[in-house]
Amino acid sequence: MSEAPSRTGDILHMRGIGKEFPGVTALADVDLRVAPGEVRALMGENGAGKSTLMKILSGVYPHGSYTGDILMDGEVRAFSGVADSERAGIAIIHQELALVPQLSIAENIFLGNERTRLGVVDWGATVRAARGLLRRVGLDEDPTTPVSLLSVGRQQLVEIAKALSKEVRLLILDEPTSALNEAESDILLGLLRGLRAQGIACILISHKLGEVVRVADTITVLRDGRGIETMAAGAVDEDRIIRGMVGRALDQRYPQRTAEIGEVRFEVRDWTVDHPTQSGRRMADGVGLEVRRGEVVGLAGLMGAGRTEFAMSLFGGSYGRYVRGGLVKDGTPIRVRDVGEAIANGIAYVPEDRKELGLILGDDIRRNLTLAALRRVSSRTVIDKAAEAVAAAELSARMGVRSRDIYQAAGDLSGGNQQKVVLGKWLFAEPDLLILDEPTRGIDVGAKYEIYLVVRRLAAQGTSVLLISSELPELLGMCDRIYAMSQGRITGQMARGEAAQEPLMKLMTMAKA
């Protein structure tokens, strides 16, 4: 796809952009054009080239490492690095926030761009300027507050305030709402509309189709490193966008199945866990639930409800201080004092943060896939390299991981393929209970569907699945039964036939069980 020549007044025109890595064409003749005050959504499956294109624009990949031209206000620009791009008025906010938790809001906003007087930081001017920027993004916080005390949603707003401090003209947001709840997402999207009114252009990378249609003016779709089409957001529906992204229609967002649910496999009784450092602060308070053989059970809750803390504590005490409670498998109490005991009892946990907790990014796909069950590729505690390679290759193919080979570093994969590797690692351990914590966060609809198919297949084979998700449609589409959690407690449960978003939300906001 090639967009029309630059319109008079366009702030940006990326023209004929191409980028290659060893053995891989990441981008081929891509055009992208943005006008002042326009919100341009950039969509595509993981690996389509979205992040690569934005790294070129933001100077991460400098001029000379790609083909084509970047025009700002009709003039060709050659960015040698991120600082060059920022001086041109371009700022990028990555999915993984780049804030220093120990520093204050004001210090983070002006880090590297300090307000000084006679060579010394002017703290009064710094705080006053930070307060004005916080008002501009609608954040009512003391600028001296440490960033570590803010929610993820508020940290996102601090990142935008930081960008505005550099007199940004073009703001790039990479999956800005992937870790936010619905209320925080609404605030952020409202801010984008406000920036549009100020003439600031935005490029929004997101896999959440609903929010893209709500806030974007135009949508550009990439597929396999090529521009497929650009369309007006108000003139298309979600199904049309999906067809452009995956090259086919997804008639069902969630695969159909006839559940064959057996007896109770796992039961959690009165599970109570305190915060790891704040004694008496309950993160999971008397949680009780059960998962049957072949059943997909959902766990719904707003941010801070304690879902992840509960799941991690269940997985061998990976989080918090155990207070009381028990776990029963097939009618027999079991002990899970550490991760080794959890794995030995057939429990697997796919964390919500795949990069920090799920993968060794610098290691290859082969090692990441076999790490949870090295006994299966070892003899007398020595790893059989040939057996490991065969197992990893088979598992990679089974999971549909798109890579050069099994020796590619996990950190070089797209988000969706990284998630497939994390999931594949635990499938290799052949678990009886698979806990999935936000398994589709930050990945595209095509990769989501592939993961849903894996979950359905596991359930059909008799695996018990506990699915934690912030997306209620995902829980409603995938689960046989859904528990709601609020303030560390289970507040109710609903069967598949009776579950709906409104009653679930009521349970998720209850003060008491």
Kindly report the average pLDDT of the chain as a whole number: 87
11 pLDDT more than 50: yes
The band of 249, judged by pLDDT with boundaries at 50, 70 and 90, is: low
Percent with pLDDT over 70 in the chain: 95
Structure tokens at 205: 């990378």
Strands (E), 112-239: 116-117, 120-121, 170-174, 201-205, 218-223, 226-232
63 pLDDT more than 90: yes
Q: What are the phi and psi torsion angles at 41 (to 5°)? A: -85, 135
Tell me the per-residue pLDDT of 410-436, one tens digit each, with 9 for 90 and over. 888 877 788 889 888 988 888 999 999
What's the pLDDT at 33?
Answer: 94
Query: How many Å apart are CA 12 and CA 307, to the nearest integer?
Result: 43
CATH 3.40.50.300 fits 12-246, yes or no: yes
Tell me the per-residue pLDDT of 18-50, one tens digit each, with 9 for 90 and over. 998 876 788 999 999 999 999 999 988 767 888
Tell me the per-residue pLDDT of 323-350, one tens digit each, with 9 for 90 and over. 999 999 999 999 999 999 999 999 999 9
Q: Kindly state the average pLDDT of the residues 482-492.
A: 92
Contact 205, 42 (CB under 8 A): yes
130 pLDDT more than 70: yes
Q: Kindly state the average pLDDT of the residues 168-188.
A: 80
Percent with pLDDT over 90 in the chain: 43
What's the pLDDT at 177?
Answer: 77
What's the pLDDT at 65?
Answer: 95
Query: How many Å apart are CA 399 and CA 425, to the nearest integer?
Result: 10
Please give the model's pTM, rounded to 2 decimal places: 0.64
Tell me the per-residue pLDDT of 82-120, one tens digit each, with 9 for 90 and over. 989 999 999 888 777 788 989 999 999 999 888 888 889
Query: Domain spanning 263-346+431-513: which superfamily?
Result: P-loop containing nucleotide triphosphate hydrolases (3.40.50.300)
Dihedral, 69, 72, 75, 80 alpha carbons, nearest 10: -60
Dihedral, 238, 244, 248, 251 alpha carbons, nearest 10: 0
Strands (E), 363-471: 378-379, 382-383, 433-437, 464-468
Q: Give the C-alpha distances (Å, rounded to integers) separating 277 from 283, 315, 333, 462.
A: 12, 19, 28, 38
Q: Name the H helices within 35-104.
A: 50-57, 82-87
Query: How many Å apart are CA 73 and CA 60, to the nearest integer?
Result: 21
Query: How many Å apart are CA 215 and CA 425, to the nearest integer?
Result: 37
Question: Based on C-alpha coordinates, what's the Rg of the chain?
Answer: 24
Bridge partners of 39, per DSSP, are 202
Q: Where are the domains of the chain?
A: 12-246, 263-346+431-513, 355-429
Query: How many Å apart are CA 163 and CA 158, to the nearest integer?
Result: 9
What's the pLDDT at 217?
Answer: 93
The band of 2, judged by pLDDT with boundaries at 50, 70 and 90, is: very low
Amino acid at 499: A
Q: Do domains 12-246 and 263-346+431-513 have the same CATH topology?
A: yes
With a CB cutoff of 8 Å and minimum separation 6, the contacts of 149 are none
The band of 185, judged by pLDDT with boundaries at 50, 70 and 90, is: confident
